[in-house]
Structure 1
């Protein structure tokens, strides 16, 4: 009897405690108490300092500063754009690659007359130019020529008995020109190299001696280009016209207009130290 009573009492007590615990969990009493205890422990526990990585934190700070600077430098007022100067009032200043002021240009080249139907005339040309400014200079020219008959001259003699020598051809020219160089720029060579160049014009006078023994006052006009290899050397071409009158073998006066093509190379002196 006593054993059965103890068993029933124990079972009832366990059931009562289990129900109380379940009711407390449903109402949140115990859970709330545990959360409060954990919060108090977090307040009193020492906080762990972040680990510093040399370099990484500096980069992070730099990035943050840059982002902040970009945000602060954002333009919000564009009203000043209406006050900009027009492009017509803006000048571009650029140094020439091949300076010439106060320098002497010595040129040597091969020349040929391109418009003589009777003679193939070729020779050498020597020039010396002194530049007062980058654009203006004075140039002296000397050309020596030699000729040989073309096929047309031989046929004229064979078919008609007329010698082309009576027409005459230039033997030499000496003169002086004013040289003007208004244009300069750069061009590409086979898309691999930038070549500075300049374009010039010449005009002057001189004297031409012809094969007939006479000579005549000559007006000379030309144009050409220099292609700079360095500040001291350049290659160039020149196309000029010489107008003159000279006596032929029969004593009559003939007028000539020779077109002279010259291809050569130039040397500048002294060394360009101011660029």
Structure 2
């Protein structure tokens, strides 16, 4: 008769940062142990944790997932990892959106020489590459942030609320809305509000770099766009409330899905967690 399988929990031992660092295969800096209690929950930094033999760290969802998976010990800041470089390159690629602000003549010359079709291909391609690098670089840099100031806890909740009208303003780009007729360029106003909200709730260097750049770009873009509207004497119609309802519903829906499900997956921060 085979021996009965033990159902007892694995023995736990207390592991501090010094002990954990000795288990690294390569050098790196570790300032805290990050435990994620659930797959989509925010990672919580702790100075010590209990290790479950063969399973991982107590309090981390990977230690109790039931398939024998365990959290591997690895430094968050190995030498030479180009996380900040990727973030800066992403911002540079994404700066193609500034062509009409600072290089209108160069943009016109490019279109005249290569054709509008090639511009419409190069423009979104550079933007997509830039956005991908920003998302990856920002998410990686957040694992080992250089904190400049510590925002109060309530600023996170304020940021979550402020981003709702930001999403609605971005959705108001739909032709025929009264918001677009009144504001002219609701998308960049929404980006301004989104950037301000995140600057209020985050105090690391990467946050200042990303959201500060987006805020400066959005302000400059709005001023340049209004100047072009005046020079071209652009006149917009009154718009219809029905399209505003579509913008409000669509923007609020995307905001809820992103805040509730995607934000934690992409950036490791759950706004309502």
With normalisation by structure 1, the TM-score equals: 0.18
Higher helix share: 2
Q: Which has the larger Rg?
A: 1
With normalisation by structure 2, the TM-score equals: 0.18
Higher strand share: 1
Higher relative contact order (CA 8 A, sep 6+): 2
